Amino acid sequence: MYEEVVKKILESVNENSSFADLYPKFSGEGYTAHKIDAENFHEIKKADINRKIAFVDGGNAEIIGSANFSLSMVRVCCAVYQGRKKLGLKKYETLALTQAFIKENEIWYKTLFFKAKNQIDLHEVLFSSFDQSLMTGFNRADIGSVSNAIRRFSELEIAKIIAKEKIADVIVLDGNLQCTLTDEDRYLSELYEECGKNKILIAALSKTNSLFTGDGNLLSAVLLSLSPFDSWFYHPIAEISSKSHKAEMFFAKFHNKSKHVFRFEVYGRQREYAEELINELAGNCTDPVFIGYPYGLVEADKIARISHNEKESLKARFLFMLQDKNIEKYLNSKNAHGILDMISF
């Protein structure tokens, strides 16, 4: 049986290896794809610009929750590097309590924030439970999913603080510069404005990407197969006219020993600086812990992550404080899976 599965996987990969339709495939409007062409590969070269780069990443975890409330820890880390030298690292945290309430005869989710050291200050976060940017399928969005949106908003807010305080010359976010959440455009617009005011470059690098070609192949795999260079960036991918995605898109393999190709974006109005920024970032991608990926983002991810032990410790503290408070009947609306996970057969 397993051999048959492996055979089918290989058949599926090989069926998509003909590169019949070499156009990137975009799901939304506002994208005019360019045909993949070998002439659009550019070799990465050593850069001696040596700017200060702030790498920003966030993490979040639900501590306790039910169908009508969710308490989460949200953490954002900023790691500042100049070349391979670390200049500083700072983390920001907040406890976010999202509650369900009735508005216009429908269920909405509103989030309250509680101060912590290096507090993250956000605008009011308000979502309809049928907000399509949170929903999976046709069902009402789970209240716990708001935490992911808060993490994204927090990353953008911290990036704005970095720009305002002129902590670095360049800000590199984890992810991309596309607005996919309700109200995300407000945070990105404020970030762009602050970066423009202080002449700071803003970019983003995705850990994963799922862009396809017209024949169903993975775009990054196609580029990796066609590239004539050991380390390279590819451009242009598409002309982007979408109001929710004000970016110029690239793909890059930052180190000759790397096996990964990443999607890289810069703010559209700063596209003229993209090539030198890619070359400069490659100098931060030499650490063997994850070769070909900026070590600043590796470190930001590591610090921002909320470990299982930390989550369980916070959970135990809040459950102890909530005991005998008549809350168990609410928690039981969501904890059945956890009970089953702990059952040993």
Torsion of CA 240, 216, 207, 159, to 10 degrees: 20
Query: Residue 74 to residues 59, 155, 321: CA-CA distances in angstroms?
Result: 6, 10, 21
- In the chain, domain spans: 42-308
Instruction: State the Cα–Cα distance between residues 290 and 311, nearest whole angstrom.
Output: 26
111 beta partners: 98, 125
Q: Does residue 146 contact residue 133 with C-beta atoms inside 8 Å?
A: no
pLDDT in tens, 108-146: 999 999 877 677 888 789 999 999 999 988 999 999 999
State the architecture of 42-308 in CATH terms: 2-Layer Sandwich (3.30)
Q: What pLDDT tens digit does each residue of the chain (345 aa) get?
A: 667 777 666 666 665 555 556 899 998 899 999 999 999 999 999 888 889 999 999 999 999 998 899 999 999 999 999 988 999 999 999 999 999 999 989 999 999 998 776 778 887 899 999 999 999 889 999 999 999 999 999 999 999 999 999 999 999 999 999 999 999 999 999 999 999 999 999 999 998 888 999 888 899 999 999 999 999 999 999 999 999 999 999 999 999 999 999 999 999 999 999 999 999 999 999 999 999 999 999 999 999 999 999 999 998 998 888 887 677 666 766 665 565 466 655
For residue 236, whether the previous peptide bond is cis, meaning omega lies within 30 degrees of 0, is: yes
24 beta partners: 213
Structure tokens at 159: 């990036």
The strand ranges marked E within 83-168 are 85-103, 106-114, 125-128
Task: Note the pLDDT of residue 178.
Answer: 96
Helix pair 146-164, 184-197: axis angle to 10 deg: 10
